C-alpha cells in the first residue's frame, strides 16, 4: 500500500522527521534557512496529501484550490494568518497549529524583551564590547524600572496569561484587554480587565499579544501611540502587521513614547536599513518568540503528529478549523 505523501517546506532535523517515515512518504525542502520557492510549493501542494508549513509560507486560495489531494496543512506556529482558513474550509482541508507547547517559551522571550528594552541591555552590551566604557557614572545606561510598574497586555490568550504570571512575580500591576473577559485569569492572577483606551492611557509597558486579523491590523497606530504615556514602552511579540511601523518610529523620535521591543515586523526579515533599527530605544529580534531548542522540537513533533492523525482518519490534537 502506498503511504500518504507529506511535503515539509523547510529542512527539519532528521531525528524528528525519520520516525514518521514508517507511515508517511516525506520530502523536505532542502534548505534549513531559506523559504521554499512559491513554484515548488505549488507543485508539491498539487500532489501532496499533507503540507507542513512555516509561518513565512503564504498558503492562499490559489494554492489550496489546486491542491486536489491535500487533506491537511500543519503550520509550525501558533499563529496562522499566513493561511487562508476560509479557503481551506471550502476545500475540506484541515489546518492545525502549535498552541500550548510554545506558551511558556514565548512568555519568557516576551518578558526578556521587555526587560532588555527597559534596562537598555542591548545598548549597554554593545557599549562594553565596543570599548566605550571608560568610567562608572551614576546615570550610565540608566533605564526604566520594571517592578511595581503597570503592564498592559493586549490579548489575554495562553501566552498573555503566562506573561501576566511573570509580571506578577515582579510585583507589577497587570491590566489587560481582550475581546472576552477572562474571569478565571483575574481570580487566579489578580489582573484587571480594562478598556483598550484605559490600558493605552495607563500602562508603562504595552504588550501586544493579539493575533493578526482584519480587526487587529494596524491596531497600534499614530492615534494609539499618541495616547500612550511619554514613558511607555511598546512590546510586540505577536505579528508585525498589528502595528504601524512608520507611526511607531515617529512616536519614539518625537518623544511621544519612550521605546519599543520588537520580535516581529510588518515585513520579515526587516531590512537592515529600516529606520527603526537606527534607534537606541528600540530592541529588535528576528521573530524568535518560541525559539528554544526544546520548544521548536516539540512544535515539529506536534505538527507531524497532527499530519499523521489527519491522514490516518483521526482527529488532530490542535485543529484550527
User: Which residues carry out catalysis?
Assistant: 239, 268, 287
Please, which residue, 256 or 263, has the CB nearer to ligand DGY? Answer: 263
Between CA 217 and CA 242 the distance in angstroms is: 4
Q: Which of 51, 78, 118, 146 binds ligand DGY (CB under 6 A)?
A: 78
Please, which residue, 72 or 232, has the CB nearer to ligand DGY? Answer: 72
CB of 287 to ligand DGY, least distance (A): 6
Counting residues that bind ligand DGY (by CB under 6 A) gives 8
Q: Are 152 and 203 in contact (CB under 8 A)?
A: yes
Torsion of CA 252, 256, 262, 268, to 10 degrees: -60
CB of 53 to ligand DGY, least distance (A): 12
**What's the sign of the alpha-carbon dihedral 215, 221, 223, 226?**
positive
- 126-155: which residues touch ligand DGY (CB under 6 A)? none
Q: Which of 73, 102, 172, 206 binds ligand DGY (CB under 6 A)?
A: 102
CB of 188 to ligand DGY, least distance (A): 24
Q: What are the residues whose beta carbons fall under 8 Å from the beta carbon of 95, sequence distance 6 or more? A: 72, 73, 74, 75, 80, 83, 85, 88, 319, 320, 321
**What's the sign of the alpha-carbon dihedral 10, 113, 217, 100?**
positive
- 261-290: which residues touch ligand DGY (CB under 6 A)? 287, 289-290
Beta bridge partners of 72: 50, 94
Please, which residue, 166 or 287, has the CB nearer to ligand DGY? Answer: 287
- 57-76: which residues touch ligand DGY (CB under 6 A)? none
Please, which residue, 109 or 172, has the CB nearer to ligand DGY? Answer: 109
- 79-98: which residues touch ligand DGY (CB under 6 A)? 79
Q: Which of 51, 55, 228, 233 binds ligand DGY (CB under 6 A)?
A: 55
What is the residue whose three cell numbers read 497600534?
A: 220
CB of 56 to ligand DGY, least distance (A): 10
Between CA 72 and CA 302 the distance in angstroms is: 13
Between CA 219 and CA 4 the distance in angstroms is: 42
Q: Which of 12, 26, 59, 77 binds ligand DGY (CB under 6 A)?
A: 77
Please, which residue, 26 or 209, has the CB nearer to ligand DGY? Answer: 209
DSSP state of 281: T
Output the nine-digit C-alpha cell for 201: 492611557
Positions touching ligand DGY (CB under 6 A) are 55, 77-79, 102, 287, 289-290
Amino acid at each position: 500500500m502506498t503511504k500518504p505523501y507529506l511535503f515539509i517546506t523547510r529542512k527539519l532535523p532528521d531525528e524528528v522527521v525519520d520516525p514518521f517515515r514508517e507511515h508517511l512518504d516525506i520530502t523536505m525542502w532542502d534548505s534549513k534557512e531559506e523559504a521554499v520557492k512559491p513554484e515548488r510549493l505549488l507543485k508539491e501542494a498539487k500532489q501532496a496529501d499533507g503540507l507542513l508549513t512555516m509561518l513565512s509560507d503564504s498558503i492562499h486560495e490559489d494554492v489550496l484550490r489546486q491542491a486536489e489531494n491535500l487533506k491537511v496543512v500543519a503550520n509550525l506556529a501558533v499563529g496562522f494568518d499566513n493561511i487562508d482558513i476560509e479557503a481551506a474550509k471550502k476545500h475540506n482541508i484541515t489546518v492545525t497549529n502549535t498552541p500550548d507547547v510554545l506558551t511558556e517559551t514565548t512568555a519568557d522571550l516576551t518578558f526578556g524583551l521587555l526587560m532588555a528594552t527597559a534596562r537598555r541591555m542591548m545598548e549597554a552590551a554593545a557599549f562594553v564590547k565596543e570599548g566605550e566604557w571608560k568610567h562608572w557614572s551614576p546615570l550610565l545606561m540608566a533605564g526604566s524600572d520594571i517592578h511595581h510598574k503597570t503592564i498592559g497586555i493586549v490579548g489575554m490568550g495562553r501566552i498573555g496569561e503566562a506573561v501576566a504570571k511573570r509580571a506578577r512575580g515582579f510585583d507589577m500591576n497587570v491590566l489587560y484587554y481582550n475581546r472576552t473577559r477572562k474571569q478565571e485569569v483575574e481570580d487566579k492572577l489578580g489582573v484587571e480587565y480594562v478598556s483598550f483606551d484605559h490600558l493605552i492611557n495607563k500602562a508603562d509597558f504595552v504588550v501586544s499579544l493579539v493575533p493578526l486579523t482584519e480587526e487587529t491590523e494596524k491596531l497600534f497606530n499614530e492615534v494609539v501611540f499618541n495616547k500612550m504615556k511619554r514613558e511607555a514602552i511598546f512590546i510586540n511579540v505577536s505579528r508585525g502587521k498589528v502595528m504601524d511601523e512608520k507611526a511607531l518610529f515617529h512616536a519614539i523620535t518625537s518623544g511621544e513614547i519612550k521605546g519599543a521591543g520588537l520580535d516581529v515586523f510588518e515585513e520579515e526579515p526587516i531590512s537592515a536599513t529600516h529606520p527603526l533599527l537606527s534607534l537606541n530605544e528600540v530592541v529588535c529580534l528576528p521573530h524568535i518568540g518560541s525559539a528554544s531548542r526544546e520548544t521548536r522540537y516539540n512544535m515539529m513533533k506536534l505538527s507531524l503528529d497532527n499530519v499523521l492523525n489527519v491522514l490516518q482518519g483521526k482527529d488532530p490534537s490542535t485543529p484550527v478549523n
